[in-house]
Amino acid sequence: MAREVLLKIEGLRIEGRAGDAWTEIVKGIDLTLHKGEVLGLIGESGAGKSTVGLAAMGFARDGCRITGGSILFDGIDLRQAPEAERRALRGKRIAYVAQSAAASFNPSHKLIDQYCEAPVIHGVMPRDEAAHDAIDLYRRMQLPDPEGIGFRYPHQVSGGQLQRAMTAMAMACRPDLIIFDEPTTALDVTTQIEVLAAIRDIVRQFDTAAIYITHDLAVVAQAADRIKVLLRGDEVEEAPTRQMLEAPREDYTKSLWAVRSFARPEQPAPQAAPILSVQNVSAAYGKVPVLDDVSFDIHAGRTIAVVGESGSGKSTAARVITGLLPPKSGGVLFEGKPLPLALKGRTRDQLRQVQMIYQMADTALNPKLRLRELIGRPAQMYLGLQGKALETRIRDLLDLIELDPDTYIDRLPGELSGGQKQRIGIARALAAEPKIIICDEVTSALDQIVQEGILKLLTRLQDEFGLAYMFITHDLATVRAIADDVVVMQRGRVVEQGPKAEMFAPPHAPYTELLLSSVPEMDPDWLTRLLESRASASV
Amino acid sequence: MGFAASVIGGLAALFAIAAGLRAVARISLKGQARSLAHDIPLTAAFGLLVIAIYTFVAIAAPALAPFPERDIVGGQFQAWSAEHWLGTDRIGRDMLSRLIYGARNTVGIAFLTTALAFVVGTILGLYAALVGGWLDQALSRFVDALMAIPALIFSLLLLTIFGTSVLTLILVIAAVDATRVFRLARAVAQGIVVMDYIEAAKLRGEGSWFLIRREILPNATAPLVAEFGLRFCFVFLAISSLSFLGLGIQPPTADWGSMVKDNATLITFGDVTPLLPAGCIALLTVAVNFVVDWQLHRASGLKEQ
């Protein structure tokens, strides 16, 4: 199927500024895209995927500059073309869909007004026609209430719907090329499927070429015709999707495939009484009920995974346990004795026993404090360590999380990578010498390779100190890797719970089934099969 | 023409000295101070130099001034001469000496007032943001009510009620300014208290004072420092205008605001002397704002493109 070449990038070099020096972040990438073709661009963060994606529009972010190579879009050299000409192309012939639709929509305009902006500015069609067209596209994107949804403001629409509205908007001028920059990464599995299916359909319907940027192989396998793997600004390999999945050539590509294989050995069934049990807890934010009669137990040395989509109440359960949100009814037992419901009523020792690690290490570590104080404070406060003893403890903790104390002890969080920051979060929790650590989506903001490192570290610490983890996540791959027990939550209720082996073996509760089947598999036909089986099931 | 030329020449000399000092600092300093010296723009170096000179003059006033602050040492309105460099004032006191002592009084009082306003405003603002609820509402609405009254009128009112001593002057202006600081500190802190690290510290069982001091304040310093510079200028002007109106620093204490007022008649005769204290105020205000701009720039994290 040799079709006309739409985009041809040759020897693309881009430099980024770090401090005063320019360093090369894209080192000579070639890329060819034919009309109507979808190219998957994958790699870990820092691989230069997004930078290449933006360069395909002839655009370099602030602090970046294109220093070499050529970008030919349908015969137009985007590097030589005047800015006015490039601007005329953007939005009309080349469109861009960003990762966070919530951040990309202007919050103070209605969706349909934002939709109509590009067609009107580019003179493609008048406003009335564009509005009609919007409704048509909303329908094709399978958005609920296509006639009405355009008249809502972005905050009145859910994340998955917003991402689809964004794709519809990118389609407004029927561009030849759309660049999708991690469009489903921020969504949970069940929503991801809907968005992925909608994107795939619309791209096929209009025969639009696309560059699909992501770090999730299984996702890109569903949508792309070809896949290109990037590593630190260099191309690792490129091949048609099927061939790439079945027979990757390079070691790096194979390692990406292998990441999902990490698993903690099965633990024997718990003998002792649970260390913490949540009993019939119902909780609400103001008048909005969030938890409804939730009960589960946490055992020493074991990991309990709490799964469910966003809004299912998983994080709220953690807030009840920590005392941040006193429940309306029910209670929490720690080692058989009831914990005071509110944070203020708890003793320092009770606080020490339950520690928390957050999803976003960026916001969980005070950016103005050095690691010494970040890690040292809990040790100082709970265990009364001072001076020499405190210093030794901080160094031991840094050793535990595999960071060199001499290098890191006086650094600020801003001087660390994402994975290292998350390790500091772990060290801070460990410093209190707790019995239970609540991990709230601790790996979901990280790359797969970094994720694996964090999971291994957590597992090692668990074996060493007999810690109990409550692992809140929507990523079932992580659950498979490290959980002993699983609690599935939906709309504030526990739908199903039990040991992992039972949970992953049929029969499932319907919602568990939906969750499990929504995890993308490394198979290009997976999405098609799944949609077919769901369609036939609903008939 | 000679006067204008000497002013411009003086400023140029100050800029040259600032540039020289910066160059020296870049070579001689080490570590963080060195990178700071590399970072600093010339305007900010100039501002720092001017502030340093003012501080020196204020501290060393008795040693620098040729005559005592309050003594009548000559005739009325004498012209500039070798003995009285800047002439004498309305009742025959040496202008230069009063200008030097004025630095001590005006700048000192302005600094104390601003510092007091900041301590009170920041602590209350951060506390209100941290605790929230009815306490936040009560404090904020009270501050809103105070801010609804024009600042100058409000200070005039308070000064007439409590009398015009230096202490009441400081307290009154600090109270009026603390309301502005409160608003800023609260607004900045509201963005900080929702961060996970504050929740983590609360879960650790930290008290409010620790949260304010170690967790919130370090993240709010940049805008507060910038505001400090601006506020300092406003306080300066407020004191000067109150003195000009006769309710500020009382005679015979030398103060730049009242010195302008006292000698204003000279302006009609084409003499620039009464404008000198005003010039001193202007120069310090500009200098402080240069430093503030630099701080704001650093705080915003923006690098010049």
Residue B145 pLDDT:
93
Where in the sequence of chain A do the CATH 3.40.50.300 domains occur? Answer: 5-247, 276-505
* Residue at A475: amino acid letter: D
Question: How far apart (Å, rounded) are the C-alpha atoms in residues B128 and B26?
Answer: 42
Strand order in the sheet with A337-338: A288-298, A276-285, A329-334, A337-338
Nearest alpha carbon to residue B11 among B40, B37, B49, B54: B49
> pLDDT tens digits for A57-85?
878 877 788 888 888 888 788 888 888 88
Residue B97 has pLDDT above 80, yes or no: yes
Arithmetic mean of pLDDT, B173-201 = 92
Question: How far apart (Å, rounded) are the C-alpha atoms in residues B231 and B115?
Answer: 10
H/E stretch holding A194 reads: helix A189-205
* Residue at A445: amino acid letter: A
> pLDDT tens digits for A1-48?
557 888 888 888 888 776 677 888 888 888 888 888 888 888 877 777
Q: How far apart are the first and last CA of chain B?
A: 41
> pLDDT tens digits for A218-254?
888 888 888 888 888 888 888 888 888 777 788 777 7
CB A184 within 8 A of CB A219: yes
What is the widest separation between alpha-carbon atoms in chain B?
A: 72
Q: How many CB atoms lie within 10 A of CB B305?
A: 6
A420 contacts: CB under 8 Å, gap ≥ 6: A403, A408
Rounded to a whole number of angstroms, the distance from the CA of B238 to the nearest CA of chain A is 35
Superfamily classification of domain A276-505: P-loop containing nucleotide triphosphate hydrolases (3.40.50.300)
**Backbone phi and psi for residue A355, each to the nearest 5 degrees, phi listed first:** -115, 165
Neighboring chain A residues of B214 at a CB cutoff of 8 Å:
366, 369, 373
A204 contacts: CB under 8 Å, gap ≥ 6: none
Using 50, 70 and 90 to split pLDDT, how confident is the model at B184? very high
Instruction: Report CA Rg, chain A.
Output: 25
> pLDDT tens digits for A343-356?
888 888 889 999 99
Q: Chain B residue with minimal CA distance to A351?
A: B204
Distances (CA, A) of A206 to A209, A220, A226, B16: 9, 19, 19, 66
Nearest alpha carbon to residue A190 among A215, A160, A158, A157: A160
Cβ of residue A368 closer than 8 Å to a chain B Cβ: yes
Cβ of residue A124 closer than 8 Å to a chain B Cβ: no
Residue with the two structure tokens 């002057």: B169
Neighboring chain B residues of A364 at a CB cutoff of 8 Å:
195-197, 200
H/E stretch holding A463 reads: helix A448-465
Of B48-62, B203-217, B257-271, minimum mean pLDDT range: B257-271
* Bond preceding residue A154 cis, omega within 30 of 0: no
Superfamily classification of domain A5-247: P-loop containing nucleotide triphosphate hydrolases (3.40.50.300)
Rounded to a whole number of angstroms, the distance from the CA of A16 to the nearest CA of chain B is 13
What ipTM was estimated for this complex? 0.74
* Residue at B164: amino acid letter: T
Quote the tokens at residue A489: 């939550």
Question: How far apart (Å, rounded) are the C-alpha atoms in residues A130 and A123?
Answer: 11
Most confident of A133-142, A179-188, B136-145: B136-145
Residue B15 pLDDT:
87
Residue A72 pLDDT:
83
CB B112 within 8 A of CB B246: no
Q: How many CB atoms lie within 10 A of CB A42?
A: 25
Residue B4 has pLDDT above 70, yes or no: yes
Rounded to a whole number of angstroms, the distance from the CA of B17 to the nearest CA of chain A is 27
Beta-strand relationship, A303-307 and A288-298: unpaired
Across the interface, which of B196, B203, B218 has its CB nearest the CB of A351?
Answer: B203
Residue B121 pLDDT:
94
Residue A112 pLDDT:
86
CB A134 within 8 A of CB A112: yes
Task: Give the domain ranges of chain B.
Answer: 40-300
Nearest alpha carbon to residue B185 among B240, B223, B146: B223
Residue A456 has pLDDT above 60, yes or no: yes
CATH classification of B40-300, choosing from 3.40.50.620, 1.10.3720.10, 3.40.50.970, 1.10.357.10? Answer: 1.10.3720.10
Neighboring chain B residues of A360 at a CB cutoff of 8 Å:
196
